[in-house]
Structure 1
Amino acid sequence: MRRDQISKRAERRSLYTNETYTQARSALRPDQPPIPPAEGDEQRHFEADLFDQVLESHTDFTECAFGIRRVQPQPTAIELTVESDQRAGRLLSRILPSYEPDGEVHGMPGLRIRQYTQRGIEIHVAGRRTSAWLTGVPSKVWKRHELFALEHLSEMGWRPLWRGPQEWSGEELAFEQRWNTGTWNQFWQAGAWCSSGLLRRLGIFQTTTPADAVTGYRGLGINGYEGLGPVRWCIDLIHRSGIPYRREPLVAALTDPELGLPVAPARHLDAIYTEQTENCIRLDDEICTGLIELRFQTFNYPSLQLSSCPPEYQKIAEGIERRIEVLAGRR
């Protein structure tokens, strides 16, 4: 491949991952697409579960979309770089599995910590070929958050499950059999390509859209589909007054034939939601297993206005302001 073609592919990859140009270029492989899909069902399903937890654990204002500064996807692993100590703690406490005495398992069943290194922390699912690295803060910070999680569980009388043997506990197996099998499991796994694909492209929500805040969650099924329909991801992109939404670049990136996902505007839903079609864009695949719902809104969060934001949000507000100025073309 010619050098200029490699450079272009690296620049385009970084648009989706928010990697530096050097990082994106070093990750390219001649026999792979610029953003390779997860290799194998186990890694893909693991990333689908992890994407769900990334969204659910995002509960505060962050400079980067979902508090993830960049992603670095490879066929058999993915790296998520968190933007802060606080974001590291929220994410880790959300994914580590624990057992509540009434029979409830919290976190990601089967998840274990494989290793701590200077790079960060590697997590995986026991007995499966899976891998994800959490980076962005020193190893000692991840260890501190793990110890805090242990102390918190001890105070509540819950049992940590991730520190057991490298196999699923009886509680995890029972919980999985009760809740994550049958029709639900088939529905979830059928849409795992979309969930994993979005996780591998998280950077797109901060490199193409000048939103103050980007949040999301897994939505319920909607009319217009048979049965459970597709796995539905609702993404809220919240802008301050006077900032254009830039809907078209985001949709173009997500539907790009080389770096995007195999989705297109869900035209069959327009008749049902005619009042929302301008600021609510739905993208789904041909066989309707994954649905991305982009919801553009305007709201002025006082905590993110530089003239009045509290001290704890000053750095975050400044970072958001710089990003918006660049993306809105005001520089």
Structure 2
Amino acid sequence: MTRDKLDRLADLRAACTLEKHAEARRQLTLLGPTPWPVPTAADPDQERLERWILHRCAWPNGITAYPFGFQHVTPEPDHLTIHVESNPEHVRELVKELLPNEYEGDLGGVPGLRAGRDNTGAPLLYLAGTRASVTLRGIAAKDWQVAVTGWRSHLASIGARPLWDISPTAMSMEESDLLQWFDPPSTVKRPCWLASALLRRIGTFTASGLPARLTGWTTGGTQHDRWKFEFEFIPGHRRAHERVLNLLTHPEVGLPLRVTKDVCSCRSGHGHGCWATLQATSGHQGSVQLLFHDCDPGTVTSWESRWPAQFAQIRAGNSAKTADRAAADCGSPQENPS
């Protein structure tokens, strides 16, 4: 691979993952000859773990400077590293949303998830009985330990049972029951490729700038995922949502998605917002709907007084126009043939 091609692919990868250019270039070199600068998860269990993480984290309770509090990701075929905002409040939220527990027959967190440490001391999340794993970086060891201890104490106070440190090789009955409800044996197994691929492209959600608030959700209990994401911007920010579509459908770093609807008021500055729908192609199942609009000014004022540090990062990022140049140069949305 020529130096120019490696640099171009590193730019594209960095636009998707939010890695620094040098790190994206290094990761591409480690991957070796491959047609896909952003690798897909090679194992269905890895996809499943990543889907559950996005599912649990896509609706933050507070404001995060980056999508769902994830600053950047480093995807590998058999692993994913998520670099997390170093905010104790966000760490507590992650612990609450991810670590599984049982209370009066109801299950919270990610079923089958177990928590440990990697060889550097960073939190390591894995699925019981599988090789699937995700590393969380950027979290101070003390903050993680305090959050886990606090959550364990809270669960004990209400009579709930922690499940994240039981058998590393088997799920509890409650976890297995939930998974059977979520993926009934009589139906086609729920595909997890779409959520996994979106998580591995966290930078896509910043291609039109850093939103003041980003939330996502999916239709549950169906045989294919229908994801919806709402981008709420500080008034005055140009909602260049075509940059998001360009990355999602890019032939080298995008997904097998086709834009089926695109209602735009970005350029006119009028209307209540923009929205677009992308449908899976090439035999894949799933869809993504995106909604872009401005926040109410009063809401922004309230949020900014509550989360000043996060809003300082959002404003600085947008005023500096840090959307990656690769996203701007991708061209028109198109169907990804992969």
TM-score tier by shorter-chain length is 0.7 to 0.9
User: What is residue 336 of structure 2 aligned with on the other side?
Assistant: none
* 1:218–1:324 distance in 2 versus 1, CA, 3 Å: same
Contact kept, 8 Å, 1:118 with 1:139, in 2: the verdict is no
1:303 and 1:144 map into 2 onto residues whose CA distance is 31
User: What is residue 91 of structure 1 aligned with on the other side?
Assistant: 94
Tell me the CA shift for residue 52 of structure 1: 0.6
SS of the counterpart of 2:139?
coil
Q: Which runs of 5+ in 2 are unaligned?
A: 264-270, 324-338
Letter of the 1:299 counterpart:
C
User: What is residue 289 of structure 1 aligned with on the other side?
Assistant: 285
User: What is residue 225 of structure 1 aligned with on the other side?
Assistant: none
1:304 and 1:183 map into 2 onto residues whose CA distance is 47
SS of the counterpart of 2:190?
helix
1:298 matches 2:294: yes
Contact kept, 8 Å, 1:10 with 1:25, in 2: the verdict is yes
Tell me the CA shift for residue 118 of structure 1: 3.8
Contact kept, 8 Å, 1:304 with 1:313, in 2: the verdict is no
Equivalences, count:
310
Contact kept, 8 Å, 1:265 with 1:283, in 2: the verdict is yes
Tell me the CA shift for residue 176 of structure 1: 2.7
2:189 and 2:181 map into 1 onto residues whose CA distance is 16
Contact kept, 8 Å, 1:119 with 1:138, in 2: the verdict is no
1:98 and 1:197 map into 2 onto residues whose CA distance is 27
Query: How do 1:210-249 residues align onto structure 2 when only pairs under 5 Å count?
Result: 210-219=210-219, 228=222, 230-249=224-243
User: What is residue 3 of structure 1 aligned with on the other side?
Assistant: 3
> 1:183-222, CA deviations, whole angstroms, 9 ceiling, x for partnerless residues?
66x3622xx111100000012212433532222111469x
User: What is residue 161 of structure 1 aligned with on the other side?
Assistant: 163
SS of the counterpart of 1:327?
coil
User: What is residue 205 of structure 2 aligned with on the other side?
Assistant: 205
1:30 and 1:265 map into 2 onto residues whose CA distance is 31
User: What is residue 273 of structure 1 aligned with on the other side?
Assistant: none
Residue number among 281, 304, 311 corresponding to 1:317 in the alignment: 311
1:16 matches 2:16: yes
> 1:77-133, CA deviations, whole angstroms, 9 ceiling, x for partnerless residues?
1011111222121012111111112x2121111110132554521110010120101
User: What is residue 54 of structure 1 aligned with on the other side?
Assistant: 57
2:257 and 2:233 map into 1 onto residues whose CA distance is 25
Tell me the CA shift for residue 301 of structure 1: 4.7
Contact kept, 8 Å, 1:207 with 1:327, in 2: the verdict is no
2:173 and 2:9 map into 1 onto residues whose CA distance is 47
Query: How do 1:186-201 residues align onto structure 2 when only pairs under 5 Å count?
Result: 186=188, 188-189=190-191, 192-201=192-201
TM-score normalised per structure 2: 0.84
